[in-house]
């Protein structure tokens, strides 16, 4: 088999596996949120379909597929139809540069737990997620509905405002690693010290992590920054006129973006696939167990960190009330943006002093 064909088949296999896993992750992130918010509100949540309600996402998906497709008569149909595709497509594409584990060798050839390894992977994620704003803006405008339009305008202004703070909060991480390559950033946090070498602790980016956290909540339209979907004010926001799977695609995009944000936080601040224990836990002497640990250990740590981030997402939603819109925009421009600039200056001085 030629190297070109081998590369193509491996790339195709990676795309299929990552897409399927991501879509399953989206479905069960919805279930996780419903169960956790149920516990926070002292109720059970979904528990009827399958053991512990584990088959509930399958039933929800079937219900959305079978719902009647309604398209209002006065919408601008081309953009109305393409808007959810843009939103979901950008959410799925951004995962393509995420490294889930270290390099491995199979059939004598080196491979990566990653679809595409690019030198500016961080910029790719920020750029693709920025394009997702167009899906929301076009959905609200093409719906020919004042509530949808107001929701789209809110969302566009919010996402653009907080995206600036989100990008600037990551500058210190790039300065420490000396690269925007996500794999290089993770490897810069790899040492025998374990979590003490992660950027959130050893890299003096603890403050930047919380700036990123707040900007990420607003960027993904999550509580307490879920103003575009303020039900009490805008009916449902930019997706008011959507039904069936088009309605579901916006929510799939939201939860896929949550997973992407969790992956970025894991890679940039929490050491990626590295163990928090460093070399404190000895490797097993059994050859089979050693192979399992080396193959699946990095992916296990990566998944645990992303899951912890998603758990925090849901916890915040069930705890904090929604901001007013003027408070939301004021916090982004008057508080968060100056703090991110201050963090860049402080990080520059810290790295210059210790270089």
**Per-residue pLDDT reduced to its tens digit, 65-88:** 888 888 888 889 999 999 999 999
Predicted local confidence at residue 341, as pLDDT: 92
Tokens 């003490």, located at residue: 196
DSSP structure class, residue 205: -
pLDDT tens sequence across 202-211 = 767 888 999 9
Quick one: 55 and 77 in the same domain?
A: no
Quick one: 24 and 79 in the same domain?
A: no
DSSP string, 254-281: HHHHHHHHHHHHHHHHS-TT--TTTTSS
Quick one: 161 and 42 in the same domain?
A: no
Quick one: 313 and 219 in the same domain?
A: yes
Write out the two tokens for 169: 């909060």
Domain housing 33:
17-60
> Is 2 contained in some domain?
no
> Is 158 contained in some domain?
yes
Quick one: 161 and 37 in the same domain?
A: no
Quick one: 177 and 40 in the same domain?
A: no
Quick one: 125 and 26 in the same domain?
A: no
DSSP structure class, residue 180: -
Predicted local confidence at residue 104, as pLDDT: 67
Say if residue 232's pLDDT is above 90. Answer: no
Residue 269 near residue 312, CB atoms below 8 Å: no
> Is 3 contained in some domain?
no
Quick one: 180 and 293 in the same domain?
A: yes
Please report, for the chain, how many H helices and E strands are present, in that order.
13, 2
Give the mean model confidence (pLDDT) for residues 330-345.
91
The domain tally of the chain equals: 2
């Amino acid at each position: 088999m030629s190297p070109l064909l081998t590369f193509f088949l491996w790339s195709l296999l990676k795309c299929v596996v990552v897409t399927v896993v991501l879509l399953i992750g989206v479905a069960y992130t919805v279930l996780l949120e419903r169960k956790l918010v149920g516990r926070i509100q002292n109720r059970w949540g979904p528990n009827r379909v399958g053991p512990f309600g584990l088959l509930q996402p399958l039933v929800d998906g079937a219900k959305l597929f079978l719902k009647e497709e309604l398209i209002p008569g006065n919408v601008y149909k081309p953009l109305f139809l393409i808007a959810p595709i843009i939103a979901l497509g950008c959410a799925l594409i951004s995962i393509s540069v995420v490294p889930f584990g270290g390099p491995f060798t199979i059939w004598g050839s080196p491979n990566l737990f990653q679809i595409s390894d690019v030198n500016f992977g961080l910029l790719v994620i920020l750029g693709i997620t920025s394009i997702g704003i167009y899906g929301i803006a076009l959905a609200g405008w093409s719906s020919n509905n004042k509530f949808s339009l107001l929701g789209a305008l809110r969302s566009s202004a919010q996402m653009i405002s907080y995206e600036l703070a989100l990008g600037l909060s990551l500058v210190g991480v790039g300065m420490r690693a000396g690269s925007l390559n996500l794999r290089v950033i993770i490897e810069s946090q790899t040492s025998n010290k374990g979590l003490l070498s992660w950027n959130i602790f050893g890299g003096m980016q603890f403050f930047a992590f919380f700036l990123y956290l707040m900007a990420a909540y607003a960027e993904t339209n999550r509580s307490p920054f879920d103003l575009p979907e303020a039900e009490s004010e805008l009916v449902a926001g930019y997706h008011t006129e959507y039904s069936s799977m088009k309605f579901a695609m916006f929510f799939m995009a939201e939860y896929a973006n949550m997973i992407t944000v969790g992956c970025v936080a894991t890679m940039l601040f929490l050491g990626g696939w590295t163990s928090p224990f460093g070399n404190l836990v000895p490797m097993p002497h059994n050859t089979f167990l050693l192979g399992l640990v080396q193959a699946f250990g990095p992916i296990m740590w990566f998944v645990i960190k992303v899951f912890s981030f998603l758990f925090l997402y849901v916890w915040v939603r069930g705890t904090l009330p929604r901001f007013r819109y003027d408070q939301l925009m004021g916090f982004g421009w008057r508080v968060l943006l100056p703090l991110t600039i201050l963090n860049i200056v402080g990080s520059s001085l810290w790295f210059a002093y210790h270089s």
